Amino acid sequence: MHHANYHYGHAHLLARYCNLPEPLHPPRLQGYLQHGWNMGDGLAPGTPYVDGSRIFVWSEETRRRSWSQGRREVIVVGAPFAYLLELEPEPAGAPQPEGTIFYPFHGWEGQQISGDHQRLIDEVKATETGPVTACLYWNEYRMRGVRKIYERAGFRVICHGYRGFWWRDHNRTFLVNQLAELRKHRRVISNRLCSAVWYGALAGREVAVYGDPMVLDNADPTFGGEPRLRRQWPEVYGYQTDFDACHQLARQQLGADELARPDELRAYLGWPAATEFATATERDK
Amino acid sequence: MSERAAALLPTQGTDYAAALAAPPLTNLRRIGGEMFAWTDRDPGRGPELPRGAVVRHLLAQFAGPDRAVLVAGPHADEVVTALADSGATVSWLLRSLGDAEDAARLHPDVTILAGAAGKLDPAARYDLVVAMDGVERLNSGEGEQLSGAELLDRLAAAVQPDGVLLLVHDNRFGLHHTVRLAPGARERQDAAWYAIDENDADRPASQEQLVGRLAEAGLEVNAAYAAFPQPATPTVLVGEGLLGNVSSPLRPRLGTALSQAYAAGFRGQPVLSDPRRLINRALLAGAEGTVAAAWLVIARAPGSDAAPAITGHELLIGDARGTFAYQVSSAGNEVRTTVLQPLEGPIERCGLRRISEPSAPGADVGYVLEERLLHLAGTDDLRNLRAELAQYDTWLRAQARDGVLTGPAALAGLADVFVSQTGLALLPTRWEPIEPVPLELAQIRAIWHFAVQVITSAQPHPWPVTSSAVDLTAVLLGMVGHSVGKDQLRAAAELHVALEAADQELSLAEQHDLRLRLLAVTPGTAPVDIAGYREVTEALWRQRYEASHLLAMMEWTEQMIQSRDLALSKVDWEVQFYRKTWAGRFLWVARSAYRVLARDGRKFLHGRRQRKAAAINPNDLR
């Protein structure tokens, strides 16, 4: 339906959750899947939308907002990351997490960010006590200058990979790798509230948002911009935050309590029912 | 544009210059939960904003200097302006940030609280809390969602001791919900991210439950009204003493007021069934409170005993817009009409003038003429029908001077005439003509409009079901010895269109449309004011009924023609047979010869007579 459904391996992960026979090659998803946490209607700005199509959003709050913006056929399914946690609960004997993973706010193909990376690094170094891993977005990771700044600060610099574009170059294990990295660390921080912070909170990590939020080129003020983030979710801001409050908020924002059962999710996404696969398999024998 | 290009399309950025140039809004406070990219002021996206003269009148009793007022939720600007103009300190809670910014600019003396009701300062207390919009729009789309019962508690908690809550609570069993015919209505409303929950057991579902719920929240309901015809624009409030009391002397006035209110409130709206007939049935059963559009309660927080008592009204009637409101009350055997809020200024439209002092007869026992006529028509009582119409005819002629009528009587319909033991009298009406109206014209309009109502709303009557409005007008006027022509009917329709245009502020195109529809009222016509599905199907039935008779007539005519064709064919055959035989030919020649001889003989005799006469009087030929 839309190429963003395959970003971060979302469709592949849901196919795995739904027990589809070939999760690496999921069937077309009959609708638009929200591909990142946002405070708008669930769709990325500028997404060409076909009226009457389904929109699969992460939370009930996003569904309300989406309806208010004239969207219909909006279904709350929860975030793919929340499904991943269902599939891969933290093992009992997992090594003790340590240090901090830091997600500097990123732009994307259509909008770049501008801000002082060094000042941000200084603040992180002054606040965090353990080793720091800086996880850059793929386009910033490619910029040698930006990467060097973080490396010089003594940070371990990583990138979860390319999210894919136009049905090509998908990183099918993007979220799996991200979860593994999150679980290695005790804290998840960023300079702007974003999906990764909620993921960290849902995965049971301390989270904190602080530092210069930087400026996004041609930022869309329709939904209130960065100042609104700070006003509406103050619980995640500051050097130290309340773990339970943040975890609870993450459950709401990622729809962790709204997850569909596999058969239900197949029906929502327009994927064949399990019995149809069983029949096809029998026939092929 | 390809999707790939569109996917990379940057959105329009912030206009920082415009943002910096805008003056700061010092009277705007963001309390949390405010909605972005949203408005409650667009009727295309959500319900109408609450307004109405009767509620404004009630509010005026509790507002004033040194009073702290909280207006909860979206309201029409005129409501907030009136409260602020009373000298009260007004705070206005709005969930939309955009609406809040507009309101802050428009009402610089009002403190605008942008956000959700759940974020209100729990310590803040007010002398008056106004929730004409109910609690449905107090939750924001963002954050925590309070239930309806919790929102009522939240409003009750904001009332300080001796303070007052004025709340309008939508009745889910109200006629406006029952008759609604709006497929896909929820899908069209951006505000309906939650559909109306008909299974919420905690939401008060009756006036008694609402009073009880507020009592649990610590408030005492001092006055309660049933509000009609729509929750957002109540124009009739029925209070204690009249509500449910079928023996009240105000009952006939209430019937007329509600019929007019429902006609105005549902004009042009498709509905399942004409709400006027349903509310009339409810009135007869004393059940109007059960099917009211909403309940309006005035509840007080306990405080000192010195707080002035809240006086209720039996019947309050007012405009949907503006300030004009009056009350009708009973005292002993008298019925009084008192103007509470006058018109803001004289109103003249389409050659008519708005009546600023509604009059009402003082007698308390009687009936509304239209209701009586409908009853008599429904029971085929032609004798009494003639008697009632004769009485009306006599009364109307007595109102005329030199064959013309002035004042409210010139535009009064049969529903505006009250019949008591002392005679006929006018009920309160809204318009009067600036120029006098000929008596016949006024009478034809009243009778014709009654006929239109009878036909289009499928009321039972003793005449053929295929009668048109024109047929019925002729019959009814004929009962009192008058006749009516096409030109007079057209003039009556023009006068009626002027009345509707003045009352509804119709455009020229709408007037033209209404005129055409009124002039074309036949048995198959649906109501021209409220498009009731039941009435439409009734009209369709009548069309089919009439069509079935036409088909039967066609079939019979066809049989007759066939029969005549057969007879003609036989005669033709005989004629041809006789022409072909010698006897026939002889007869034909003889008949032709006779015709020639007879014709030429007459000519010859006529010529001879003339010649003889000329010979006697030679001058006559010259």
Contact (Cβ atoms closer than 8 angstroms) between residue A117 and residue A137: no
pLDDT of residue B10: 47
pLDDT at B483: 92
Question: How many residues would you count in chain A?
Answer: 285
Would the CA dihedral through B474, B480, B481, B482 be positive or negative?
Answer: negative
Flag if A110 and B14 touch (Cβ within 8 Å).
no
Report the gap between the CA of A66 and the closest CA in chain B (Å): 8
Q: Which chain A residues touch B10 with a CB distance below 8 Å?
A: 46, 110-111, 217-218
Q: What is the pLDDT of residue A278?
A: 61
Q: Which of B363, B369, B469, B371 has the alpha carbon at shortest distance from B409?
A: B369
Q: How many residues does chain B have?
A: 622
Q: What is the DSSP letter of A168?
A: B
Query: What are the chain A neighbours of B193 within 8 Å (beta carbons)?
Result: 63-65, 67-68
Report d(CA B431, CA B347) in Å as an integer. Answer: 10
Find out whether B179 and B273 touch, Cβ atoms under 8 Å.
yes
Say what the pTM is. 0.81
Identify the CA nearest to B475 among candidates B447, B439, B443.
B447
Interface test with B, best of A7, A49, A68, A74 (most B CBs within 10 A): A68
Tokens representing A37 are 């946490």
Q: Are A55 and A75 in contact (CB under 8 A)?
A: yes
- Are B498 and B352 within 8 A, CB to CB? yes
pLDDT at A109 (0 to 100): 56
Are A102 and A70 contacting, i.e. CB atoms less than 8 angstroms apart? no
Q: Which helix (H) or strand (E) holds B129?
A: strand B126-131
Q: Is the pLDDT of residue A112 over 70?
A: no
pLDDT at B621: 46
> How far, in whole angstroms, is CA B80 from its chain's centroid?
27
- Compute CA distances B46 → A70, B168, B194, whole Å: 11, 17, 12
The minimum CA-CA distance between A52 and chain B, rounded to whole Å, is 11
Q: Is the dihedral of CA A271, A274, A279, A283 positive or negative?
A: positive
A169 exposure class (CB count in 10 Å sphere: 0-12, 13-18, 19+): exposed
DSSP 8-state secondary structure symbol assigned to residue B72: E
Cβ contacts below 8 Å, chain A against chain B, sum to: 81
Average pLDDT score over residue span A216-241 = 86
Instruction: Report CB contact under 8 Å: A224, B36.
Output: yes
Cβ of A221 within 8 Å of Cβ of B8? The answer is no
Contact across the interface for A67 and B143, Cβ inside 8 Å: no
8 Å CB contact of A64 and B187: no
With beta carbons under 8 A apart, name residues in chain B contacting A219: 13-14
The pLDDT, as a whole number, for residue B1 is: 36
- In A20-59, the residues whose Cβ lies within 8 Å of chain B are 39-40, 45-48
Mean pLDDT over residues A274-281, rounded? 64
The 3-class SS string of B604-621 reads HHHHHHHHHHHHHCHHHH
Element (H, E) at B271: strand B270-271
* Contact: A219, B187; criterion CB under 8 Å: no
Element (H, E) at B238: strand B234-238
Write out chain B residues lying below 8 Å of A63, CB-based.
Answer: 193
> So what's the pLDDT on residue B159?
97
SS3 A32: strand
In chain A, which residues have their Cβ closer than 8 Å to the Cβ of B141? 61, 64-65, 67-68
* Spatial separation of the C-alpha atoms in residues B244 and A266, rounded to whole Å: 55
A117 against B63, higher pLDDT? B63
From the list A121, A81, A113, A87, the residue with the least C-alpha distance to A205 is A81
Q: Do A64 and B194 touch (CB under 8 A)?
A: yes
Amino acid occupying residue A244: D
Choose the closest CB to A68 out of B4, B7, B35.
B35
Of B11, B36, B190, the CB nearest to A218: B11
Least confident span in A70-79, A270-279, B204-213? A270-279
Cβ <8 Å between B10 and A46 = yes
CA gyration radius, chain B: 36
* CB contact (8 A) between residue B36 and residue A228: yes
pLDDT at B106: 96
- The DSSP letter of residue B368 is E
Cα-flanking dihedrals φ and ψ of residue A201, to 5°? -65, -40
Cβ contact (<8 Å) for A48 and B36?
no
Collect all residues of chain A within an 8 Å Cβ-Cβ radius of residue B4.
166
Identify the top-confidence range among A26-35, A208-217, B16-25, B329-338.
Answer: A26-35
- Looking at the complex, report in whole angstroms how far the Cα of residue B166 sits from the nearest Cα belonging to chain A: 28
| Beta-strand runs (E) in chain A | 32-33, 55-57, 74-76, 100-103, 113-114, 132-135, 156-158, 187-190, 206-209, 215-216
Judge whether B221 and B166 are in contact, CB under 8 Å.
Answer: no
For chain B, the helix, strand and coil percentages under 3-state DSSP, each to the nearest 5: 45, 20, 40
Q: CB–CB of A207/A189 below 8 Å?
A: yes
Alpha-helix runs per DSSP H in B520-581: 533-580
Q: What is the pLDDT of residue B11?
A: 47
Other C-beta atoms closer than 10 Å to the C-beta of A207 total 26
- Least CA distance to B188: which residue of chain A? A70
Name which of A120, A170, A123 is nearest A146 in CA terms.
A120
Q: Which candidate in B16, B36, B119 is best for mutational testing of the A interface (most A CBs within 10 A)?
A: B36
pLDDT at B445: 97
Q: Give the separation between CA B61 and CA B311, rounded to whole angstroms.
A: 10
Low-confidence ranges of chain B (pLDDT < 50): 1-11, 621-622
Q: Tell me which residue has tokens 């409009």.
A: B449
Judge whether A86 and A179 are in contact, CB under 8 Å.
Answer: no
Q: Strand pairing partners for B401?
A: B404
Instruction: Say whether B36 and A110 touch across the interface (CB within 8 A).
Output: no
Q: Given CB atoms, is A231 within the 8 Å cutoff of chain B?
A: yes
- Tokens 């803040």: give the residue: B124
* Secondary element (H or E) of residue B69: strand B68-72
Torsion of CA A217, A218, A222, A223, to 10 degrees: 0
pLDDT top residue among A22 and B227:
B227
Neighbours of A173 (CB within 10 A): 17
Within 8 A of B9 by CB-CB distance, chain A residues are 46, 110
Given its phi and psi angles, is residue A193 left (phi above 0), alpha (psi -120 to 50 degrees) or beta?
beta
DSSP assignment of B412-443 equals --GGGEEEETTEEEEPP-SEEESS-EEHHHHH
- Assess contact for B393 and B344: CB atoms under 8 A: no
Who among A2, A65, A218 is closest to B10 (CB)?
A218
- Closest CB to A109: pick one of B8, B35, B38: B8
Question: CA B382, CA B550: separation in Å to the nearest integer?
Answer: 28
Nearest chain B Cα to A44, which residue?
B7
Note whether ipTM > 0.85 here.
Answer: no
Task: Indicate if the pLDDT at residue A110 is higher than 70.
Answer: no
Three-class secondary structure of residue B90 per DSSP: strand
Spatial distance between the Cα atoms of B598 and B596, rounded to a whole number of angstroms = 5
A46/B9 Cβ within 8 A: yes
What's the CA gap between A244 and B471, in Å, rounded? Answer: 79
Cα distance between the two ends of chain A: 32
Residue, of B94 and A274, whose pLDDT is higher: B94
What is the C-alpha to C-alpha distance for residues B90 and B77, in angstroms, rounded to an integer? 13
Binding-site residues on chain B for chain A (CB distance < 8 A)? 3-4, 6-14, 30, 32-33, 35-38, 97, 141-143, 187, 190-194
DSSP B410: G
Of A46, A72, A231, the CB nearest to B11: A46
How far does A153 lie from chain B, in Å, by closest CA? Answer: 33
Nearest CA in chain B to A69: B190
Contact list in A for residue B192 (CB cut-off 8 A) is 67
Nearest to B147 by CA among B109, B102, B201, B191: B201
- How many CB atoms neighbour CB B508 within 10 A? 8
